[in-house]
Structure 1
Amino acid sequence: MADPVIIAVPKGRILEDALPLLARAGIEPEPAFSDEGSRALRFATNRPDISLIRVRAFDVATFVAHGAAQLGIVGSDVLMEFDYSELYAPVDLGIGRCRVSVAEPVELAALDDPREWSHVRVATKYPALTRRHFEARGVQAECVKLNGAMELAPLLGLSSRIVDLVSSGKTLKENGLVEIEVIAEVSARLIANRAAFKMRSAQIGPLIDAFRQAVR
């Protein structure tokens, strides 16, 4: 029997929405997957030819790009940040919708005109995406890389602006920040490793079709 197809799924907010999609695609993880106390990272499913790994969202793209997993579920923000040529994203899953936006303190926004920027200092976990966005507008972006608690950066003088994921805007508001520019709309995608897709198309092709049907 061929090795099982490994699907990388992200911890956190996308996973809750992804589980019903997995079920509709005929994939149900073993009970340990839902056990809050479990430290396991790899899980069997109801299908012997499929197993799941649960990793950080940013790592999903890396595992699949390097062929350690053959399929993955990840936000398009991560794909834009890494821009791996080894990845193929055949299905927009329509879940995890939000946006990557520029935000700044309310009092700065009252005086600010983004069209007049020539240089910005930005705290973000998306330095590549942020630089590309500002370069396209002729603005030099100095990026301070943070992995979380982005809203603290303007409060503590680390940077005057942030680039981060925004859904409701509630977290920004609670920290005295306001969204001033949307860089990209985001949703979760099913991704595949290109080489694996070619070499194991008999296994992976039907799985991709099952996700397409699940989305419909």
Structure 2
Amino acid sequence: MNSFLTIAMPKGRIFEEAADLLRKADFRLPPEFDDSRKLILEIEEENLRFILAKPMDVVTYVEHGVADVGIAGKDVMLEEERDVYELLDLKISTCYLAVAGLPNTKISDITPKIASKYPNVASSYFREQGEQVEIIKLNGSIELAPLIGLAERIVDIVSTGQTLKENGLVEYAKIADVTSRLIANPVSYRIKEKRITEIVDRLAEIVNQ
């Protein structure tokens, strides 16, 4: 069992793109890998164990060493600020963090309210702008906040901008570009450096084509 290298993978769109990337790098993932409802999958011929997790939890699993490496969005890494090594930009799941709100509106001079599922990113951004704000943490449907008067601005991930448009919101500022990154637990990287470096090299060859 100890010969397995454990990889934490986020469920959803990133998982699909990451699995495709692994296959292009000649990792032998079986077809049922994509459709399984299991949370732990072992690929014996590759000596790989995969933990399927919520995107926000991947960095936690890697930091605590229950996963040797993981695939995490840069947005999660900026928000969580975990003690992990960032090894490779996989250049998948491209999007960006932005400030948005109702069109033609100014934020209040007195402690405006900002809704986001990225409270640390939002707080840091507005602090850098010299603005003191109140952060309201939400876990979903962030676009709803300005529409019901809960917040004057939101900080959220933008992919195509279609969700903002459909809800009558506009983008006011871009905070940071986001792609998925290959990350590693510092201790695992020292102990299993050869194996992890092999994975990095194989993926990098595909990513940089």
TM-score (norm 1): 0.89
- SS class of match (1:3): coil
Distance, in Å, in 1 between the alignment partners of 2:109 and 2:21 is 43
Select which of 78, 81, 85 maps to 2:79.
81
- Partner residue, 2:90: 93
Distance, in Å, in 1 between the alignment partners of 2:84 and 2:110 is 34
Is 2:39 aligned against 1:34?
no
1:117 Cα shift? 5.6
1:73 Cα shift? 0.8
**Which runs of 5 or more structure 1 residues have no equivalent in the other structure?**
none
Deviation readout 1:33-77 (Å, 9 max, x if unpaired): 322xx4310112263411111111111111111111011111101
Question: Root-mean-square deviation (CA), in Å?
Answer: 1.8
Deviates more, 1:195-204 or 1:171-180: 195-204
AA at the equivalent of 1:147 = N
AA at the equivalent of 2:183 = I
- Partner residue, 2:122: 130
Decide whether the 8 Å contact of 1:150 with 1:162 is kept in 2: yes
How many pairs align?
Answer: 208
**Which runs of 5 or more structure 2 residues have no equivalent in the other structure?**
none
Runs of 4+ aligned residues of structure 1 deviating over 4 Å after TM superposition are none
AA at the equivalent of 2:84 = L
Distance, in Å, in 1 between the alignment partners of 2:117 and 2:12 is 16
AA at the equivalent of 2:73 = G
1:24 Cα shift? 2.1
- Partner residue, 2:196: 204
- Partner residue, 1:105: 102
- SS class of match (2:133): strand
TM-score (norm 2): 0.92
Decide whether the 8 Å contact of 2:99 with 2:174 is kept in 1: yes
Distance, in Å, in 2 between the alignment partners of 1:69 and 1:181 is 35
AA at the equivalent of 1:69 = A
